[in-house]
Structure 1
Amino acid sequence: MSKPHIPLDELRAQVAACHRCPLADGRTQTVFGVGDPEARVLIVGEAPGKNEDLQGEPFVGAAGKYLDELLAIAGLTRGDVFIANVLKCRPPGNRDPRPEEIELCTPFLREQTRTIDPEFIVTLGNFSTKFILKTEVGITRLHGTLQRAGRFKVFPIFHPAAALYDSKKREALENDFATLGELLGTRPPAAAQPTA
């Protein structure tokens, strides 16, 4: 089945649904969907931070630079993927969203997966992994293991921001992105990698 050809601006309008969401009043989430609508890989991040909201782009700053390095390990660039940020509202007091709040976000993310129709969904961090897989099992146990959500292959990975302060997570992230590249065929298997 061929993917629908929708102009990216129209796609963004479809999935940047914060202004239609009753939770969005007074909240800051604005970034939703950027990249190649024909991408084989949909990357689902956490909620965008203040800089992302201000600049209208996901993954800016240190975590963004590191994501670019990680994508390169997998043999990818941002032009090869579509990045969606989960609408994780930041209520007063910055408490975690309640299950019923998360449920309101689900149709908008589902719309993205249907429109992009990716081969792989990469979930970055605990929130997006639980959101996509509908599980309470954390990222520490699931990272780097291929999972299934309906017809989609899901590959959970630590969030790049977590590795900025934790060298163990950095090693895990880089290994997992290498594995992702092998699964996609954008990077040769480890045995075929040149040795230093």
Structure 2
Amino acid sequence: MSSIETDVRRALLSFYVEAGVHTLIGDEPIDRMAEPAVVEAPPELAPPPPAAAREDAPNRYPTLQPKGTPAVAAPTAAVPETLAPEAAVMAARQAAGNAATLDELRTILSEFEGCALRGMAKQTVFADGNPAAKLMFVGEAPGRDEDIEGLPFVGRSGKLLDRMLAAIGLDRQGAYIANIIPWRPPGNRTPTPQESQVCLPFIRRQIELADPDVLVCLGGPSSQTLLGAREGIMRTRGKWMTYNTGKRDIRAIATLHPAYLLRSPIAKRLAWRDFLAIKQELAKN
């Protein structure tokens, strides 16, 4: 096997791991889009004819019940109850508003059942860092490593974020880090708009309780959800905006997500400019 083939296979395995694949179910790939082969059974194994075609079959037309007789429904499998989208958002707003502290919000969030992602993830990924810090980062959703450890930004993206913080003289004790979605979507897929809207009251309350002086949105989805940005992250990044908690205005800025920087290292120069601006803003306070 050539070195190129080895690198390609390693990259493919890394992709599978990041996507959440952890079990091998066969030695050969299965084409599930192919038409199934039709195999005729021998006469002795052929299934019996349909009931409607047999002479001894019962009447295939339903028997009419006398008027007023209550109908008996056929037994059905139990289906878990889920809230309607509007009801789930309202429940999230009420639950988040009941939290007076970050610890209470963490407990309420871990018990909230209005988002289906909670039942699919290993655990709730609430926050990391120092809640008393003047700087707060908000990403989109946790990934595989975050779901395992229960902390945001602990994988490759997290290691890069740590280096970016170190470049401006900070570490995780100098920042507070969270995500809009506290549960990992299956396979690291993009959260749906409904999932983001249900989780939005919790991250808003989290920002309000942490009360940072500078809010940094990591990536386009975070800036669109929290700052109402309508343009792409390349046009939004580096521009100072205002985030209102309901009690006061906070200086806010969007920058490129570390995961994007890992795929496009040339864009690190843009993120570096943003982090220098963040450093200068923190110095003012």
Q: Tell me how far apart the structure 2 counterparts of residues 105 and 45 of structure 1 sit (CA, whole Å).
A: 13
1:152 correspondence with 2:244: no
Is it true that 1:27 corresponds to 2:120 in the alignment? yes
Q: Which residue of 2 aligns with 1:110?
A: 204
Alignment of 1:32-181 (within 5 A): 32-87=126-181, 96-150=190-244, 151-181=249-279
Greater shift in the superposed pair: 113-122 or 169-178: 169-178
**How far 1:74 moved relative to its partner?**
2.2
Q: Give the partner amino acid of 1:152.
A: I
Structure 2: 5+ residue runs without aligned partners? 1-99
CA 1:181–1:25: 2 relative to 1, 3 Å: closer
Using structure 2 for the length normalisation, give the TM-score. 0.57
Provide closer, same or farther for how the CA distance between residues 156 and 21 of structure 1 changes in structure 2, counting only shifts above 3 A.
Answer: farther
Q: 1:103 to 1:37 in 2, by over 3 A?
A: same
**Shift in CA distance, 111/141, structure 1 to aligned 2, threshold 3 Å:** same
Paired position in structure 2 for 1:191? none
Contact 2:140 2:180 in 1 (8 A): yes
Instruction: Please give the secondary structure, in 1, of the residue aligned with 2:238.
Output: coil
Higher RCO (C-alpha under 8 Å, 6+ residues apart): 1
User: CA offset at residue 146 of structure 1?
Assistant: 0.8
Instruction: Give the 3 Å change call, closer, same or farther, for CA 92–53 of structure 1 in structure 2.
Output: closer
Instruction: Letter of the 1:22 partner, please give it.
Output: G
Deviation at 1:95, TM superposition (A): 5.6
Query: CA-to-partner distance for each residue in 1:137-159, whole Å, 9 max, x for gaps?
Result: 22110111111122121110101
**2: CA distance between counterparts of 1:35 and 1:93?**
26
Does the residue aligned with 1:22 lie in a helix, a strand or coil?
coil
Task: Name the residue aligned to 2:16.
Answer: none
Residue 50 and residue 9 in structure 1: after superposition, are their counterparts in 2 closer, same or farther (change >3 A)? same
Q: Distance in 1 between matches of 2:113 and 2:251?
A: 28
Once the two structures are overlaid, the 10-residue window that deviates more, 88-97 or 155-164, is 88-97
In 2, the alpha carbon distance for the partners of 1:13 and 1:123 equals 24
CA 1:137 to 1:88, structure 2 compared with 1: closer, same or farther past 3 Å? farther
Cα distance in 2, alignment partners of residues 75 and 154 from structure 1? 20
Amino acid at match of 2:238: G
Equivalent position SS for 2:169: coil
Structure 1 position 60, deviation (Å)? 1.5
Contact 2:125 2:183 in 1 (8 A): no
Structure 2: how far apart are the matches of 1:169 and 1:180?
17
Aligned residues: 179
Instruction: Using structure 1 for the length normalisation, give the TM-score.
Output: 0.80
